[in-house]
Amino acid sequence: MTTSDSNKTKRGTLTIAGSGIASVGHITLGTLSYIKESDKIFYLVCDPVTEAFIHDNSTADCFDLSVFYDKTKGRYDSYIQMCEVMLKAVRTGHDVLGVFYGHPGVFVSPSHRAIAVARQEGYSAKMLPGISAEDYMFADLEFDPALSGCKTCEATEILLRDKPLDPTLQNIIWQVGSVGVVDMEFSKSKFHLLVDRLEKDFGPDHKIVHYIGAVLPQSATMMDTFTIADLRKEDVAKQFGTISTFYIPPRDERPINPAMAEAFGSPGAPLKLKSLVKWTGPKLNVSTAYGPHERDVIAQIDTHVAPEGRKKQHTSAAMKKFMTDLALKPKLLEQYKLDPVAVVESVEGLSNEEKIRLKSASDGPADVLTFVPT
């Protein structure tokens, strides 16, 4: 398994992947393919079902990185140790997979450190995307970050560096239950300082949503709404833990810039642009789903004709299977990148045209390989 890194002189490789939040169900096909093919797996997941799934779907040696956590140890120290055990396996020539819950690049310190060090030492390293708590939140709360914009920040970082919270944006605040905590003693959280800040920026009556995505299949997602003033109540504050996230909807709407409206060419242009994100779902709906314009557009469906030149899939079963295998079999993809001609010649059922296209190992769009005009 390799990456696009130019330096490939050393045998070991490092791939960092995410298991998502919801147990097993958030593991992508790409991550699963690396679980099946890696030599050594190091994981930090948030539930025993995902842990068991990793063991059951791998022939590799699997190691639980959570052993490095300790209440008397700084989290940064734990992250250094997690990183180093992965790198040690890479240095001995193994194809190493690190699996972290959520997205492996979102609020995951050891993943970034491990990749950076591995590359500096000449090893191939890369990160696979995963489903983060924020992605999960977009689905559960049904809001679109494109509507009014969205800002994401960690609670302690907001306070420590006095970072602005914009009342005209949707604000997402992570780790609200561990404000100012650098170890595993989360009871030391300075949550009241965050409440002070929220009250200053939004006022005591503005509503926020406390969000925790469900992990196990039988669990329920937490989506509780409070006013900022409610957050000062002891029975409310004790509900917030290390995986709690706040969603703060906009309080104000930023006015249209007249000069920019003129630059767009007409006074109505910004309104047309805004209509692209008018409908945001049932929970945060700002407009009717079936107004006059929507009904008119729907009425045109029965007479709609596909545009000329539209492309449709037209390829052999062998081509479809080979492209799928490249996506889901990391070692096959490595072989293909090293010697596309030899790999393509070993595949039965490809047409001559398909072989020519595949042998070029093109970086172009997928339709160059698998689609032709109808």
- What does each C-alpha distance from 242 to 173, 177, 179, 223 come to in angstroms? 12, 5, 9, 16
> Which listed residue (34, 43, 69, 75) is catalytic?
75
Contact criterion met (CB below 8 Å) for 12 and 90: yes
Q: Are strands 40-44 and 95-100 parallel, antiparallel or unpaired?
A: parallel
| Ramachandran assignment for 175, one of left (phi > 0), alpha (psi -120 to 50 degrees), beta (any other) | left
Local structure of residue 146 (DSSP, 8 states) = T
Residue 313 burial class via C-beta count within 10 angstroms: exposed 0-12, middle 13-18, buried 19 and up: exposed
Label residue 355 exposed, middle or buried (CB < 10 Å: 0-12, 13-18, 19+): middle
Measured CA to CA in angstroms, residue 278 lies from 91, 143, 282, 288, 371 at distances of 52, 11, 12, 9, 34
Active site residue 101: yes
Q: Which CATH class is domain 13-131?
A: alpha beta
Tokens at 119, concatenated = 């590359």
Question: In 10 A of CB 215, how many CB atoms?
Answer: 21
- Exposure of 160 in the CB half-sphere (CA atoms within 13 A): 10
Q: Is 323 helix (H, G, I), strand (E, B) or coil?
A: helix
Please state, in angstroms and rounded to a whole number, the distance separating the CA atoms of residues 36 and 56.
Answer: 9
Q: At 42, which helix (H) or strand (E)? A: strand 40-44
Instruction: Please state, in angstroms and as integers, the Cα–Cα distance from residue 159 to each residue in 68, 156, 172, 204, following that order.
Output: 28, 5, 14, 18
Half-sphere exposure of 204 (CA within 13 A, CB side): 4
Residues shown for the chain: 374
CA distance linking residue 126 with residue 112, whole number of Å: 10
Beta carbons of 317 and 349 less than 8 angstroms apart? yes
Please give the Cα distance from 253 to 4 (Å, whole number): 43
Question: d(Cα 79, Cα 64) in Å, to the nearest integer?
Answer: 13
- Sign (positive/negative) of CA torsion 291, 293, 296, 298? negative
Domain ranges of the chain: 13-131, 134-248, 258-303, 311-373
E strand or H helix at 151: strand 150-154
* pLDDT for the residue 182: 67
Instruction: For the domain made up of 134-248, give the CATH fold.
Output: 3.30.950
Beta bridge partners of 14: 96, 125
298 CB-near residues (< 8 Å, 6+ apart): 290
Q: Compute the C-alpha angle 356/4/341, nearest 5°.
A: 25
Q: Is 161 a catalytic residue?
A: no
The number of angstroms, rounded, from the C-alpha of 76 to the middle of its chain's C-alpha atoms is 23
Q: Active-site residue among 43, 79, 247, 336?
A: 79
Whether 75 is catalytic is yes
Tokens describing residue 302: 């029965």
User: Which pLDDT does position 4 carry in this prediction?
Assistant: 43
Q: Which of 34, 101, 211, 336 is catalytic?
A: 101
Q: What three-state secondary structure class fits 279?
A: coil
User: What is the pLDDT, as a whole number, of residue 284?
Assistant: 55
Which run of H or of E encompasses 208? Answer: strand 207-212
Identify the pLDDT of residue 82.
96
Can you list the residues of the chain whose pLDDT is less than 70? 1-9, 182-188, 266-288, 311-313, 361-374
* pLDDT tens digits for range 50-102: 999 999 999 999 999 999 998 888 888 999 999 999 999 999 999 999 999 99
